[in-house]
Amino acid sequence: MKTSKIITTALVSICFTLFLNNLNAQNMNTHLDKRQQKIAGIAANTAVGNLDALKTEINDALDAGMTVNEIKEILVQMYAYCGFPRSLNGISTLMAVLDERKAKGITDTVGREATPITETSGKYERGKKTLETLTRRPESNPKTGANAFSPEIDVFLKEHLFADIFGRDVLSYQDRELATIAALTALDGVEPQLQAHCNMGINTGITEAQIKEITALVKYPVNKTPLVRLAKLRIDAAQLENYVVALREEIETSVRVEPGVLNLYAVSEKENPTHFTIMEIYAGEDAYKSHLETSHFKKYKSSTNEMVKSLELVETAPVVLGAKTNESIFAKGGKGSADWFTGTVWVQPLVNPDEMENLYSVGSVTFEAGGRTHWHTHPTGQVLLVTEGKGWYQERGKTAQMLTKGSVVAIPKEVEHWHGAAKDSKFVHVAISNMANGNNVMWMSPVTDEEYNGINQ
Ligand code: MN
């Protein structure tokens, strides 16, 4: 056991503490307004170089009353996150849109320019101050991490990004954080930076619900039509059973681990049980393409190659769709802190201890596959109600118990344990913990991969 940490509530991550502080301070905006949607759309499409979509977003933004200078400002800011090439292509796209609109007789408002900076303090100090405003934390000189190893990047970040760029008042800090969160959501492999900017965004008044909307907007734009494909197969009768095993594994894995795979439904004909039709519904072309690249699909493809006598793929066009939605019960919430969780875990406070005379706290916790808590104890115990997926509960020295939707766990006080998702499944539970002297959890060491893999999943 390396470190023990006592915190006020088990379920409130740093992100959420700030979020709740913010909630008390102002009304909760659950939705992005039109202007904010456009800021997110422009930033995300610039970041990934999707210039056709960017063109549409810029047109919409201008129609919604954004000024040319505001849009230009987003495109300039983007170079700090995705480089000059993307930023310059974005600016060229803006110029092309303005020309087209001018030709159509539309007059767009240029808007005001940035106020010249008159502050006399050094740039580094100015950038540091901006960063402190955004993080609500004093910035000490870096002693560890990338900024200490490379002092030049620390200077560039503070002097350039946070003094030069964020110092320009054409956009508010909130606008700039919206743009940044959208861009980082669109880019791959920048999760730590996205997390940091979510926290900063929340400090500027962006709500968690709005961040969720940005994610939905960027990942699954509304104008994207699902891609539906039919696969018609004839299976070698001698291999039928093996084929079904492989197909089941492939379909179950795909819908479980790929957010872009909406539905896979395989049926066989009663009269001809070797004749299969698989209806495949993907969030879009990208989701389909990435599905083809997954290891589970490739494995299915190669392992069933000999079993499939013929395969016909039918492209389809949408006509009518009627569907029931199957959404999670509670909101996913904000990302849980790496200080207490391993992997990707989301925390949604449901009842704040303050509301209950500090007697107990309730929250919903969503663990992505492999996500789990660190080892911990509760001074007065905890109840878990599993609402979705498959996961584990384990007490120190005992065999892990598998949990599925509907499982209930009553955890005694002071018993060291962890809970979390199975390797291959999302897992959601509501956690109710009693408070004792303002605390409801004592955090301990992480559940190591060795410990986690040892539970015989
Ligand atoms: Mn617990």
pLDDT digits 0-9 by tens, 79-103: 999 999 999 999 999 999 999 999 9
Cα–Cα distances (Å) from 201 to 90, 241, 251, 337, 433, in that order, read 23, 53, 38, 17, 29
Alpha-carbon gap, residue 284 to 388, rounded angstroms = 25
Q: Is residue 12 part of a domain?
A: no
Ligand 1 centroid distance, CA of 384 (Å):
8
Residue 318 pLDDT:
77
The model's pLDDT over 136-186, given as tens digits with 9 standing for 90+, comes to 999 888 888 888 899 999 999 999 999 999 999 999 999 999 999 999 999
Separation of CA 33 and ligand 1 centre (Å): 38
In degrees and rounded to multiples of 5, residue 138 shows phi and psi of -65, 140
Tell me the CA–centroid distance for residue 195 and ligand 1, in Å.
24
Q: What is the pLDDT of residues 242-255, one digit of tens each?
A: 999 999 999 999 98
Q: Note whether residue 248 is domain-resident.
A: yes
C-alpha radius of gyration, the chain, whole number:
25
Distance 419 CA to ligand 1 centre (A): 6
378 CA distance to ligand 1 middle (Å): 7
* Statement to judge: residues 447 and 309 lie in one domain: no
53 and 124 share one domain: yes
The residue out of 219, 251, 277 marking a domain boundary is 219
Residue 191 shares a structural domain with residue 99: yes
**181 CB contacts (<8 Å, ≥6 apart)?**
40, 194, 197, 198, 201, 206, 211, 214
| Residue 93 in domain | yes
What's the CA-to-centroid distance between 417 and ligand 1, angstroms? 6
pLDDT at 220: 63
Distance of CA 196 to the CA centre of its chain: 13
pLDDT at 54: 95
Q: Which of 219, 252, 286 is the last residue before a domain boundary?
A: 219
Looking at 257, 292, 315, which one is the last position of a domain?
A: 315
Separation CA 10–CA 210 (nearest Å): 24
State the distance from the centre of ligand 1 to the C-alpha of 94, rounded, in angstroms: 52
Say if residue 39 is in the same domain as residue 62.
Answer: yes
- Predicted confidence (pLDDT) per residue in 219-271, tens digit: 766 545 788 999 999 999 999 999 999 999 999 999 888 878 888 999 999 99
Lowest mean pLDDT, pick from 123-127, 154-158, 268-272, 315-319: 315-319
In a domain? residue 282: yes
User: Is 193 found in the same domain as 87?
Assistant: yes
| 208 and 137 within one domain | yes
Mean pLDDT (the chain) is 88
Question: At 6, which amino acid appears?
Answer: I
- At residue 324, the pLDDT reads 60
- Give me ligand 1 centre to Cα 416, in Å: 8
Domain that holds residue 257: 227-315
* pLDDT at residue 126 greater than cutoff 50: yes
Q: How far is the CA of 404 from the centre of ligand 1 (A)?
A: 16
Ligand 1 centroid from CA 197, angstroms: 28
Distance (Å) from CA 457 to ligand 1 centroid: 20
The span from the CA of 11 to the CA of 17, in Å, is 10
Distance 21 CA to ligand 1 centre (A): 24
Q: Are residues 241 and 308 in the same domain?
A: yes
Residue 5 in any domain: the answer is no
Q: 234 with 212, same domain?
A: no
Number of domains in the chain: 3
Going from the Cα of 24 to the center of ligand 1, the distance in angstroms, rounded, reads 27
Distance 98 CA to ligand 1 centre (A): 56
Q: Please report whether residue 418 resides in a domain.
A: yes
pLDDT value at residue 286: 77
Ligand 1 geometric centre to CA of 421 (Å): 13
Whether residue 387 sits in one domain with residue 262: no
- What CATH number is attached to the domain comprising 179? 1.20.1290.10
Bridging pattern class, strands 401-404 and 360-367: unpaired
413 C-alpha to center of ligand 1: Å?
A: 10
Residue for token digits 């962006």? 206
How far is the centre of ligand 1, averaged over its atoms, from the C-alpha of 43 (Å)? Answer: 39
**CATH number of the CATH domain containing 353:** 2.60.120.10
Ligand 1 centre to CA of 382 (Å) is 6
Mean pLDDT (whole number) for 201-210: 92
Ligand 1 center from residue 377 Cα (angstroms): 6
The alpha carbon of 178 and the centre of ligand 1 are apart by a number of angstroms equal to 34
What secondary structure, in 3-state letters, does the chain show?
A: CCCCEEECCCCCCHHHHHHHHHHHHCCCCCCCCHHHHHHHHHHHHHHHCCHHHHHHHHHHHHHCCCCHHHHHHHHHHCHHHHHHHHHHHHHHHHHHHHHHHHHCCCCCCCCCCCCCCCCCCCHHHHHHHHHHHHHCCCCCCCCCHHHHHCHHHHHHHHHHHHHHHCCCCCCCHHHHHHHHHHHHHHCCCCHHHHHHHHHHHHHCCCCHHHHHHHHHHHHCCCCCCCEEEEEEEEECHHHHHHHHHHHHHHHHHHHHHCCCEEEEEEEECCCCCCEEEEEEEECCHHHHHHHHCCHHHHHHHHHHCCCEEEEEEEECCCCCCCCCCCCCCCCCCEECCCCCEECCEEEEEEECHHHHCCCEEEEEEEECCCCEECCEECCCCEEEEEEEEEEEEEECCCCCEEEECCCEEEECCCCCEEEEECCCCCEEEEEEEECECCECEEECCCCCHHHHHCCCC
- Residue 322 lies inside a defined structural domain of this protein: no
**pLDDT given for residue 31 in this prediction:** 81
Q: How far is the CA of 431 from the centre of ligand 1 (A)?
A: 8
Question: Half-sphere exposure of 374 toward its Cβ, with a 13 Å CA cutoff?
Answer: 22
409: CA distance to ligand 1 center in Å? 10
pTM tops 0.85, yes or no? no
Cα 365 to ligand 1 centroid, rounded to whole Å: 11
Pair (167, 54) in one structural domain: yes
CATH code for the domain in which residue 233 is found: 3.30.70.100
- Kindly give the distance from the C-alpha atom of residue 438 to the centroid of ligand 1, in angstroms, as a whole number: 16
Cα(450) to centroid of ligand 1, in Å? 20
Of all residues in the chain, what percent carry a pLDDT higher than 90?
67
CB-based contacts of 287, cutoff 8 Å, min separation 6: 227, 258, 259, 260, 261
Task: Verify that 207 and 237 share a domain, yes or no.
Answer: no
116 and 174 belong to one structural domain? yes
Ligand 1: centre distance to CA 101 (Å): 58
Distance 395 CA to ligand 1 centre (A): 10
For residue 418, the CA-to-ligand 1 centroid distance in Å is: 6
Q: Is residue 62 part of a domain?
A: yes
Task: Give residue 199 CA to ligand 1 midpoint distance, Å.
Answer: 25
